[in-house]
Chain A
């Protein structure tokens, strides 16, 4: 296993486990305020210090990890769930009307950065974690559609697909039984990348107030709250920021490691 895979996997596992653990245990309650003990630096009682309400930052980060991971994961699910079938359908009908319509729709969605989609959705329905998921998810659809279509197009020219067509299989069946398993590795790697981008996007949206709303802790909101406190207690901004960096770095390394491990051509080069 590559170093990237091990390091990225370990970092990601730490955050996922912390998020899962927060369902049953956190060092302190995230709702317990202690104004007398606010903005305290890291200590034995509060391993990562306290925020401006005296809440334990470690506990907030653990619960916040749940929000970030859930938003990014569901957004990747939306992107994959809609983008992959569209990409497969476009490739199966290459050059046809369906292909053209799907790819032009993709171009259109690409013209809306996730922040712009979020602004539009929030202006209409109000800010929430769900709307952040929808915004990031919509932006993921063309990403997965394009990557699936690109990979599937080259597979449609391969002999084993020709054999399947000669055997009388329909395009839909070939896409599901032969194309999809062969692009799965690529999708897993891209899924990891989109997951890390989703974490960053969620943090950004929550920071500007378009994502998760109080009292639901989120990493972006923690940074927004920390902004006016940064001169008094730099740790309230430093720690959540470094947490986001570590999580995104971990996912990116995991993506790189998975790509190396799953792509046989890279494996041959390495050995």
Chain B
């Protein structure tokens, strides 16, 4: 297991180095000089030069890359070109909205998918299974941002149960904050719940065809008892893998949903940064999202190897 862990850790570090190099290189291609952009067309050349020095733009590309990566390792993401504020602080402030939103959506999608998947698998081919399968077909076809708009129309505008957007902040109270994130989380969770339900159902059906389930039934258990006592635990392995992978994508997916609900999360930060050509913010947020995906993949690999020893020897 230690050898496997080290191999995966090396792979994680290499992936992060290459990803950071790719992100830095792509942003470097961007036409225009951030210092000139910030100071406007009437700026004096010496003022621009002074700002370039202040922002470190006069250094070589390699030096800037190394300083960017080195800074990130110590929690210093640089200074925003537009707001002249530490990027790390700006990201941290926004993560207090995006991270709870992604976690809330993940919890909801799991709470929906587990019972729905088990219900469908236990009634394979029946009306209940068909209804769940049909609902998941529809769930994966619905764009989450459109579903979000429909939720606003019904629950905010017509029924007035929730606000149509905005976030009062956690200072206003935990439940007030959670209430503001409820509609966005539901919108974000829907397609993920549909995918997870499918995985749960098919994983359970695979397990139910295994010999040990047949043995359990031969010993007198009903098929539902066999499913609950022996099937569920074994079927959870692929489901947990998908849940892990979904988290990183929920964090990225929250970017669009935040636009619908005007939430002050990472999404709004990155779109503002694009508009204002605040490229250091763009590259830092993108790096953070990619880091989340790579890290979650790494953790999923480890968790998978922990429960399935065959994987450790295979790689």
Chain A: residues with CB nearer than 8 A to chain B? 104, 107-108, 110-113, 115-116, 119-124, 196, 200, 203-204, 207-209, 223, 226-227, 230-231, 234, 237-238, 240-241, 244-245, 248-249, 252-253
Contact = CB atoms under 8 A, between A and B. Distances in A.
Nearest to B260: A227
A120 B149 CA distance: 26
B137 A122 contact: no
A245 B253 CA distance: 18
Contacts, number: 119
B252 interface: yes
B247 to A, nearest CB: 12
Contacts of A196: 141
A120 B286 contact: yes
Interface of B: 11, 14-15, 18-19, 22-23, 26-27, 29-31, 137-138, 140-143, 145-146, 149-150, 152-153, 157, 248-249, 252-253, 255-256, 259-260, 270-271, 273-274, 277, 279, 282, 286, 289-290, 293-294, 297
Contact of B289 (A113, A123, A200): A113
Chain A contact residues: over half helix, strand or loop, or mixed? Answer: helix
A238 B274 CA distance: 29
Contact of B23 (A120, A208, A209): A120
B153 A237 contact: yes
A104 B11 contact: yes
B122 to A, nearest CB: 21
Interface of B, helix, strand, loop or mixed by DSSP: helix
Nearest to A121: B26
Nearest to B294: A111
Contact of A241 (B14, B19, B146): B146
A116 B145 CA distance: 17
Contacts of B157: 230-231
24 contacts: A108-B22, A111-B15, A111-B294, A112-B293, A113-B249, A115-B252, A116-B289, A119-B255, A119-B282, A119-B286, A120-B26, A124-B26, A124-B29, A196-B141, A203-B146, A207-B145, A207-B259, A208-B259, A208-B271, A209-B271, A231-B153, A241-B143, A245-B141, A245-B142
Contact of B293 (A111, A119, A120, A240): A111
Contact of B141 (A122, A237, A249): A249
Nearest to A124: B30
A241 B150 contact: yes
Given A123-B27, A208-B271, A237 B142 contact: no
Contacts of B31: 124
A124 B90 CA distance: 21
A96 B145 CA distance: 43
Contacts of B153: 230-231, 234, 237
B30 A204 contact: no
Given A203-B143, A208-B271, A227 B27 contact: no
A122 B30 CA distance: 10
A107 B15 contact: yes
B149 to A, nearest CB: 5
Contacts of B146: 203, 223, 237, 240-241, 244-245
